[in-house]
Amino acid sequence: MLSRATQTPQMLARLDAAIDELQRSGEFRRIAAFYALPVLINQTLDSEWFRVLAFIGTIAFALSGVVLAYAGQYSLFGALILATLPALGGGVVRDLLLQRDPLGIVRNPEALLIVFATVLAGMVVIKTVSHVRAPPLAKYLQSHARLGSRLIEAFDAVALAAFTVVGVVVVLDTSARPLWLWGPIAAVLTGSFGGLMRDLLRHDRVVANLRGELYPEIAAVWGLAFAIFLEREGARLSRKRSDWA
């Protein structure tokens, strides 16, 4: 259609001028951000390495609920609630706010199954260990308790990082704009709002997500940085650059 053999130089010059005008007016960047960027970023999220990060993160959030349920002597159903809220609750609130249809948990129930499996496995391990009266095992668990808590903290950091990215990318999947505003909001909701709901459900006097160490602030700062990067680089973003981002 645009072959030099069938088109005049004048027509090609008009087409070039029209494309240049699209770039000058910012329309080209808007089109790329609206259509091409979500596809490119979702290709990164579908990659195996990011699935592993999200898998680790979901398990980490679910394990925190299992530990709290055991400490508070909750039932199995209570443990499922305490594990599901931090792992999936923030994403549900985010999707409702952004009017995402269908909800992410309905679109892909894999995360829900991971939480259920983690709770069942965690409760079985805890019950088994609690019934073992062997002194060497008890001493080993006591001496390595700090190591276990550090390991959960490391997994929790991975979860916060992965869920921050997911929160920003979900905004690209909706009509919510501007990205620099809704991106960090979605990152905070995805990464920390579920934990806040869990703590409110437990009637904690000190809500971990609102007092003490920085937590939602981390998601907000990095969600904003990621959103600004995508807005600036969207028109020329490649698969490799999106992976690094």
In this predicted structure, the answer to whether residue 182 has a pLDDT above a threshold of 90 is yes
Instruction: Please tell me the distance from the alpha carbon of residue 191 to that of residue 139, in angstroms, as a whole number.
Output: 35
* pLDDT value, residue 107: 84
In this predicted structure, the answer to whether residue 142 has a pLDDT above a threshold of 70 is no
Instruction: Please tell me the distance from the alpha carbon of residue 5 to that of residue 7, in angstroms, as a whole number.
Output: 6
Categorize the per-residue pLDDT at 226 as very low, low, confident or very high, splitting at 50, 70 and 90.
Answer: very high
> Pick the residue with more confidence: 230 or 150?
230
* pLDDT value, residue 145: 61
- Are the C-beta atoms of 166 and 186 separated by less than 8 Å? no
In this predicted structure, the answer to whether residue 141 has a pLDDT above a threshold of 60 is no
Categorize the per-residue pLDDT at 20 as very low, low, confident or very high, splitting at 50, 70 and 90.
Answer: very high
**What percentage of the chain reaches a pLDDT higher than 70?**
87
- Are the C-beta atoms of 121 and 65 separated by less than 8 Å? no
SS (HEC) of the chain: CCCCCCCCHHHHHHHHHHHHHHHHHCHHHHHHHHHHHHHHHHHHHCCHHHHHHHHHHHHHHHHHHHHHHHHCCCCHHHHHHHHHHHHHHHHHHHHHHCCCCCCHHHHCCHHHHHHHHHHHHHHHHHHHHHHCCCHHHHHHHHHCHHHHHHHHHHHHHHHHHHHHHHHHHHHHCCCCCCHHHHHHHHHHHHHHHHHHHHHHHCCCCCCCCCCCCCCHHHHHHHHHHHHHHHHHHHHHCCHHHHHHC
Tokens representing residue 43 in the block? 């290709």
- Give Cα 132 distance to the centre of its chain: 38
Instruction: Please tell me the distance from the alpha carbon of residue 175 to that of residue 95, in angstroms, as a whole number.
Output: 12
> Per-domain residue ranges for the chain?
39-244
- Are the C-beta atoms of 54 and 166 separated by less than 8 Å? yes
Categorize the per-residue pLDDT at 224 as very low, low, confident or very high, splitting at 50, 70 and 90.
Answer: very high
Categorize the per-residue pLDDT at 18 as very low, low, confident or very high, splitting at 50, 70 and 90.
Answer: very high
> Pick the residue with more confidence: 150 or 94?
94
Average pLDDT over residues 28-57: 81
pTM across the whole model: 0.77
68: Cβ contacts below 8 Å, ≥ 6 apart: 74, 82, 198, 202
Average pLDDT over residues 69-91: 87
* pLDDT value, residue 184: 96
